[in-house]
Every structure is written in C-alpha cells, then in structure tokens.
Amino acid sequence: MVLVAARFLYFEAENKRNFLIVDMFVAWIVFSLIRGIFMAENYWDYKSLVERIFDLLIIVVVYVASNKERLQSILSFFVKYVLPFSLILAIYQGAFMSRGMFLFPISFLILFVPGLKIHWKLILIFITLIVFFDGIATGTRSFIFKFGVPVILLLLYYTRFFIAFDKIVKNTHLVLIVAPWLLFVLGVFGIFNVFKIDEYLKIDYVAETTTAEGVVKTQEITEDSRTFIYTEVLQSAKKYNYWILGRSPARGNETVAFADFFEEISGRNERYKNEANVPNIFTWMGIIGVLLYFLVFLKASMLAIYRSNNIYSKLLGLFVAARWAYAWVEDPSGFGMNDFTIWFMIGACLSESFRKMNNVEVKLWARGIFESRYVKYMKYLKKDFHENYAQIKSIQF
C-alpha cells in the first residue's frame, strides 16, 4: 500500500518517462522478494527476507522526493525536529560517530549552503566539519566520504568562475560511473586491486578509537576489508550458479571468514548481508539487479548534470554518481537515514520541476526548508505577481 501511495498519490506525471528505470528496478525488487518466499528454508532465511523488505523497498521514497514541494517539507521536518534531537543525542553521548547516522541529510543540505542565510550556512558547515573530523579521528571511512565529498563540491562551486566547471563536472561524472566497473574487472583478473592501495603507494593511516567499554583500539583507514567479501560472493555465486537472478533477498553468500559465527547461529556458513552494497545487490538479485541499480544512478546523475537549469542540480548529480561508486565499497542497503538521503537525492535529480528551476528559484526553495516564510513568498509571487515571478524564472544560469 505504501508503494502504491508513493507511486500514484505523490508522483508528478511529468516525471513518468524519467522513472521508467526506477519502476523496472522496483518491479525486480518485488519479484525477488516474492521469489525469496520460496527460496527460504528456515527461520533465519525468513527473518532475512523480512529485513530486506524494509531495506530494499525504502526506494519508494524516491517517488515522493521527485515532488519538490514534498521534498522541501520532508527536509524541513528534519531540520526542525530530527536535527535538534540528533545534536542533543550526539552531545549527550560525547561523539558524533554512531549518532551521525541521524545527520546524513546534512550531507544533502550542505550543497545548498551558497543560497542560505549566513547563520544556516555556519550551522551546516560546522556540523559537517565536526562529523568529518570525527570520522577521521575514529577511522570511520563512511563519514569521511559522505561529508567530505559535499565539501569538495562546495569548493567546486565557489571556484566555478576560475575553472572549466562544466568540463570538470562531466569528466568527473564519467570517471565515477565507469571506474568501479573497470576496477572490478582489473581486480577479478588480478591486475590491480584498489582495496590494497596501501601496498601500491606504501601509505598508512592509523586512527585510535575508544569502544563503549573504554577500550582503546587502533584502526587502519587504508586497511583492506573488502577483497575477501568480493571473493566469497563470487565463489558462492559460482558454486550455486545464481549469477543472473541472484539467490533472493532471503539468502546470502557462503562465507569462510565468518563461518564459525554464522554456523553457530543459523547452522550454515551463510552471511545474509555484507558491508558493501553492490555485492549485496548481486547476491540478492543477481546481475540483473546490479544493472538496474546502476542504471537508476546513471539516469539520475546524467539528467542532473546534462539536463538541468541550475548549478545545484549539477553538484547533486555529481554527488549521486559518487554514491554509486561508494556502493562498491560500503553503503549496505538499510532502513535508515543514509538510504533515505540517497533516494531523496536521486528523486531530486529525476524531478523535472526541480531541474527546471534556475539558481534563484533553488535558492528560495532551499531557504524554504529552514524558514516557512519563503514558501509563502513563492506562493504569493506565483498567485498575485505573475510578472515578478516571470522575472525570477527568466534568470539564466
């Protein structure tokens, strides 16, 4: 019912063509989940299937996010209620690390900093830098990436008049889209393993972390913790021959590294979910699932970069492409703020109404997230001052 409501009640008809690939991916997810009912063999399989329903069908928020007014109101709710709670929780716990999961929408909102009032600029930048440096201090690569990339994109924005902005954006987009496939092939054939970059460059970075029990541990940020995942996933697919359709969301890949742990729990050396999302998608939904997942990111990022009327969409498209690349390293699907943020961004990229806005309109839209008077102001202009609104619409990037 939630899927139907999101698809038909909040969906803008003008986005129908852009969402064809999303519809196909959602259909494949539903097919895979139904298939999982027949693939499940025990309690743990059914438990995994139920968890995957939430993890995978969170994609439905992309339909709601394609409506820029709905997206604005959702982000406004986050700023007014979720953000203060997250900050209080972070301060109370004494660190941003595990609490940072509530702050992921900030990595989206930070892209609109140039159009915001000074106090909101400072607040967003402050939170971003705190989470980023906390990630460095604790060795949390996910925070370093997710909050570091938007900062780089902001630097790109502020230097756009001194560089070949469009060329850099398009070339970077191409690299982010193609590089994961290329690196995967090189890794499979044993030519170059990007996860062992510390061996090639002889670099190392060690961070100290303190556990909840007060134990200080060291963690290498450049440590290879992904090669074994790809090895186990591919070997499992070869053994059971589920390359095309996957093993269904009810099942996982056989594991050697965690064999003892999972055999004790479920009686099988089967790992239901890994730290990297692309291997998960492959195990659950096969090559078809991975290709559809890829095409969603490709379509969204290309529309944002090549068919938009504002610079914010271009930056957002580049960030979406970066999240695609990062899905090969981390970002496992889950029912949480991280995935909500990803699909919010993709929804905005696929939205005709969002991409049609010029820089001034996006600026007013972004301010409306933090102050409702800007929402009222835009409605006022549209309703009673058509000439003034037409002037805003005529401003070109």
Q: Is residue 143 part of a domain?
A: yes
Q: Is residue 365 part of a domain?
A: yes
Give the phi and the psi of residue 11 in degrees, each rounded to 5.
Answer: -85, 135
Q: Is residue 258 part of a domain?
A: no
Q: Is residue 134 part of a domain?
A: yes
* Helix, strand, coil distribution of the chain in percent, nearest 5: 75, 5, 25
Tokens of 389: 């609104």
Answer whether 327's CB lies under 8 Å from 319's CB: no
Enumerate the β-bridge partners of residue 219. 207
Tokens of 183: 């690196």
Query: Among residues 132, 186, 183, which one has the least CA distance to residue 328?
Result: 183
> What is residue 11's predicted lDDT score, i.e. its pLDDT?
64
pTM of model > 0.75: yes
- Count how many domains the chain has: 1
Q: Residue 126: what residue type?
A: F
Q: Is residue 26 part of a domain?
A: no
**CA 98 to chain CA centroid, nearest Å:** 17
Helices assigned H by DSSP within 78-110: 83-93, 104-109
Tally the C-alpha atoms within 13 A of residue 31's C-alpha that lie toward its C-beta. 12
* Nearest-angstrom CA–CA distance, 264 and 293: 33
Q: Is residue 232 part of a domain?
A: no
Q: Is residue 8 part of a domain?
A: yes
* Nearest-angstrom CA–CA distance, 271 and 235: 13
Q: Where in the sequence is the domain holding 82, given as residue range(s)?
A: 2-15+61-189+311-394
> What is residue 211's predicted lDDT score, i.e. its pLDDT?
36
pLDDT of the chain along its 397 residues, tens only? Answer: 555 555 556 667 677 888 999 999 999 999 999 999 999 999 999 999 999 999 999 999 999 999 999 999 999 999 999 888 877 776 666 554 455 567 899 999 999 999 999 999 999 999 999 888 877 877 777 888 999 999 999 999 999 999 999 999 999 999 999 999 999 999 999 888 887 776 656 555 555 443 333 434 455 656 667 888 999 999 999 999 999 999 999 999 998 888 888 888 887 888 999 989 999 999 999 999 999 999 999 999 999 999 999 999 999 999 999 999 999 998 888 888 999 999 999 999 999 999 999 999 999 999 999 987 766 666 666 655 555 555 555 544 4
Q: Is residue 207 part of a domain?
A: no
